[in-house]
Amino acid sequence: MRIEYKDISKLLGYEPTVYRGGGHHLSTAGKRTPYIPGIGVIREYQFNRPVNERVGELLEQIGFRTVNVSPEQATEVTLGKRAQIVNNDFRKQQKKYPKLAWYELGVGVSIHYNAYNGIFDKKRGGFSTFHNKRSAYGKKLAQFINEEMAKGTSQINRGLKTNNLAMTRDTYPAYCLVECGFMDMKTEAVRMLDKDFQEECAIEIVRGICRYFGYEYDDLVTIIPEPVKESINKHHDTQRRFMKKMYEQVVEMLSEGMRDEYKLEEISLFLAELLDAAIEDIHSLKQQVEEINYEQKGYKEAN
Ligand SMILES: [Zn+2]
């Protein structure tokens, strides 16, 4: 199979921006799990960063522009500085697209992992999405991401929440902060390093963002099976079985020909026919591949 991407910037007529951040630095105080035997402590950064990167990758594949607001630096990028990065860029986007409403230009998402009291507490787990209570568009974004996360994970949905968080409060675009799990719940702490879980969170965040802009992720990303390869493989199998049968027949004939020299003429005739059939086969295979390529081209143009 292969994946075909539609470009949301072509569908919308402008390039929407997503401000994305994986909150915290490796060195940020706190922001880590309690000690886990055999693993040690897991930093929040070890989850947030790969998910943030993957969110960027997935979004850019479908035509979003993304701005990483927690770039890799020796020290933590303060929340004030991050909000400034977002707002400076957002102003430029407003100048670039003066006719668009602010809520169409872009959105922001902060990716986090929650903690309760820093000790393993079985009872507290789940994911939640936060928005600023005064932002209707922030709420809309948080709602979509929350719904998408609820579809994909077996965790408890702690729901849509409001909080006076810097990134959702001090930034111009609609903003959402996602807490993907709890660092002080054992099962969720261990999942932080699980690549499949990281991928799931990233794709659900992206799905929610797509819906904010009026598109379903599945309509933008199409998985197409590869009929060319499959048909050739199938053909090769038939060919192989055919050749094996022929080979067995030739061997049988040759052993007969050893006994009867008149058979040798028959054998050489047969071998010539076999060669002709093989050449014909190669031609038909070539033709089939051309036909399938033509069909795929048609599919591409129609879509
Ligand atoms: Zn955090």
pLDDT at 291 > cutoff 80: no
pLDDT band of residue 25 (cuts 50, 70, 90) is: confident
Over residues 7-26, the mean pLDDT reads 92
- For residue 111, CA distances in Å to 41, 167, 271, 282 come to 19, 11, 68, 55
- pLDDT recorded at residue 94: 97
Q: Are residues 93 and 200 in the same domain?
A: yes
CB 62 within 8 A of CB 148: no
Phi, psi of 166 (to 5 degrees): -55, -45
pLDDT at 73 > cutoff 80: no
Question: In terms of pLDDT, which residue wins out, 161 or 244?
Answer: 161
pLDDT at 232 > cutoff 70: no
Total structural domains in the chain? 2
pLDDT at 160 > cutoff 80: yes
Q: How high is the mean pLDDT of the chain?
A: 86
102 Cα to the center of ligand 1, angstroms: 27
165 Cα to the center of ligand 1, angstroms: 11
- For residue 249, CA distances in Å to 180, 222, 262, 275, 276 come to 65, 47, 17, 14, 17
The contacts of residue 303 (CB under 8 Å, 6+ apart) are 4, 222
32 Cα to the center of ligand 1, angstroms: 9
Of 74-83, 104-113, 143-152, 232-241, where does mean pLDDT reach its minimum? Answer: 232-241
Sign of the CA dihedral running 22, 28, 34, 37: positive
Q: Are residues 33 and 178 in the same domain?
A: yes
Q: Are residues 214 and 238 in the same domain?
A: no
CB 135 within 8 A of CB 157: no
Q: By three-state DSSP, how is residue 43 classified?
A: strand
Chain Cα centroid distance, residue 104: 23
Name the residue with tokens 């020290």: 75
Question: In terms of pLDDT, which residue wins out, 268 or 6?
Answer: 6
236 Cα to the center of ligand 1, angstroms: 54
The CA-to-CA distance between both ends of the chain, in Å, stands at: 17
pLDDT at 235 > cutoff 70: no
232 Cα to the center of ligand 1, angstroms: 51
Q: Are residues 110 and 177 in the same domain?
A: yes
68 Cα to the center of ligand 1, angstroms: 16
Q: Are residues 230 and 213 in the same domain?
A: no
Q: Are residues 94 and 210 in the same domain?
A: yes
Q: Are residues 146 and 37 in the same domain?
A: yes
112 Cα to the center of ligand 1, angstroms: 4
127 Cα to the center of ligand 1, angstroms: 12
179 Cα to the center of ligand 1, angstroms: 7
pLDDT band of residue 178 (cuts 50, 70, 90) is: very high
220, 248, 276 — which closes off a domain?
220
pLDDT band of residue 39 (cuts 50, 70, 90) is: confident
28 Cα to the center of ligand 1, angstroms: 10
Give pLDDT tens digits for 74-121. Answer: 677 788 889 999 999 999 999 999 999 999 999 999 999 999 888 887
pLDDT band of residue 234 (cuts 50, 70, 90) is: low
Q: 249 lies in which domain range?
A: 225-302
Q: What's the CA angle centered on 91, arms 211 and 129, to 5 degrees?
A: 35
Tell me the CATH number at 146. 3.40.630.40
In percent, the amount of the chain with pLDDT more than 90 equals 51
Query: Which residues, by Cβ under 5 Å, contact ligand 1, an ion?
Result: 23, 112
Instruction: Answer whether 0.85 is exceeded by the pTM.
Output: no
Over residues 49-59, the mean pLDDT reads 97
5 Cα to the center of ligand 1, angstroms: 32
